[in-house]
Structure 1
């Protein structure tokens, strides 16, 4: 009997449960009465998370002129609205370490995910305004459904890979044919179960069909574009040949277009920053560049 994404998520809830400090911080970030001091105190109770958060804030991800040495200062610098993204980024690989399928190179998986997150962030800053950290987390976690799929349904996952390598259909189309749903739906169901904002998990769910994302069509379109760019630099996981950047159509969202020269600079910057961020979110990985 086939299972729904929600049923699969329920079955693996213990494997991908969030650390208690992250759960508590997430709750406080949604509270209208919580302040930076209270949230900082919760995070400070976890030395490892505090250290990773400070590393991220002081990395090329932010380009800060002076070093940030305390969690409270980090919160002041990044703001409460973006703190959630950094907390989840800092705990991403640890959260999913028990789901590491043998058929996936996890170092390459996180390299691709970090790169996609950085591209999504930079596109968001240029085309949607703001600091872009929410789109960074959306890009970072866009493919976690595939980890769940390969871990929990390995036979179906292998069938999907075999068909995808023929290059006749997209991964998403093959997943929907074999499973009745996509790995993007599976991943978004997990993020929704973590009570993350819709602006984060809806673009993940509709990354292949942004027109169905409702109020978050702009974010979903941006994620789709970020994935197209990522496929040029970090090819799609076991799905055929990389796309050439020159073959992409113009990058345009909400009537705003990124000139090719600016896009190439953006891609170059993301490649440099990927070193720093990957070393923080996946510190045990060997160098794979």
Structure 2
């Protein structure tokens, strides 16, 4: 099976709630405003509550309490709002897939961590708020869930071969399947009509140099993934961050300093559990 066929096969399992689809359409509409989008989101009380928890968390650290969705939209902006909506529904949307051989609590902690690091890299290195990067980082590895859910025997074979040979999972995936999990995940995101700026970095996260349009964003995602692999927050070992493991990775021609990386990691360590507690509260009980 090819990525398009696999995604078509699982679309019913990972379909988005109507409120998310409608809000996504409005965000892309030049005529929509915060009030109209807030009204749509208000039809889903659970989503509204999660959004308000997120904007009032350490993730944003606003000085005052944000009490309405429309006010939250005004403060964070429409593109950031899209990230928060999809983040709020992510664990619920993929719950139906939940492969037996993947610890979903660990999966979401790593995903949240990668998203926060990606957002902060954009802020530090590009001096922008990285509107799309949190969502890109959060969803960068959903192809693995799809792969283990739909092709579990091949997925396990790939893991075993990668472990035995020392090669990357992506390399073995392409050898065995003809595509990798990054392509699989990005195909799903594209089918959801998310902007290309969100799904293209996911598709080319292992090779930013061949990205058609969004090379800078793809470089950020690659570095965020490498930092997450170094830190391994789910292990909570208390060991110092091994920055030496990082490959030299430049973003838009600029390599982050050790001080910048340490600051990003420190902030992500503090914020990741707060965000996880909102989008997947059951997971935080085991850490």
SS in 1 for 2:255: strand
* Alignment match, 1:164: 162
CA distance in 2, matches of 1:259, 1:114: 23
Deviation of the 1:165 alpha carbon: 2.0
Distance 2:22 2:93 in 1: 15
Residue 26 of structure 1 is matched in structure 2 by 24
Aligned partner (choices 274, 277, 280) of residue 276 of structure 1: 274
Partner of 1:240: none
Distance in 1, Cα, partners of 2:276 & 2:184:
24
**Aligned counterpart for 1:180 among listed residues 178, 181, 190:** 178
TM-superposed CA distance for 1:47, in Å, is 0.1
Residue 89 of structure 2 corresponds to residue 91 of structure 1: yes
Alpha carbons 1:207, 1:220 under 8 Å: kept: yes
Q: Alignment partner for residue 36 of structure 1, among 26, 34, 37?
A: 34
Structure 2 equivalent of residue 12 of structure 1: 10
Equivalent residue runs for 1:235-274 within 5 Å: 244-274=242-272
1:108–1:288: 8 Å Cα contact kept in structure 2? no
TM-score, reference length from structure 2: 0.95
Distance 1:167 1:281, change over 3 A: farther
Report SS of the residue matched to 1:256.
coil
Deviates more, 1:137-146 or 1:161-170: 161-170
Contact 1:250 1:258 in 2 (8 A): no
- Aligned-pair distance for 1:257? 2.9
Partners of 1:88 and 1:137 within 8 A in 2: yes
Alignment of 1:222-237 (within 5 A): 222-234=220-232
- Cα 1:8/1:235, change in 2 over 3 Å: farther
How do residues 84-163 of structure 1 correspond to structure 2 at under 5 angstroms?
84-163=82-161
* CA distance in structure 2 between the aligned counterparts of 1:247 and 1:281, rounded to whole angstroms: 30
Please give the alpha-carbon distance, in whole angstroms, between the structure 1 residues aligned to 2:171 and 2:253.
Answer: 28
Match of 2:204 in 1: 206
Deviation at 1:250, TM superposition (A): 4.3
Residue 262 of structure 1 deviates from its aligned partner by: 1.9
Q: Specify the SS of the correspondent of 2:213.
A: helix
Residues 61-100 of structure 1 aligned to structure 2 (within 5 Å): 61-100=59-98
Q: Displacement of 1:286 after TM fit? A: 4.2
SS of match in other structure, 1:28: helix
Query: CA offsets per residue over residues 192-247 of structure 1, 9 Å max, x none?
Result: 000000000000000001011122011111100111110001289xxxxxx93223
Deviations 1:25-80 (A, max 9, x none): 00111111111111000000100000000011001110110010111111111111
1:251/1:263 Cα in 2 relative to 1: closer, same or farther (>3 Å)?
Answer: farther
1:215 to 190, 213, 220: 213
Q: CA RMSD in A?
A: 1.6
Deviations 1:91-143 (A, max 9, x none): 00000000000000000000000000011000011122321231010000000
Note the residue ranges of structure 1 that are not aligned, 5 or more in a row. 237-242
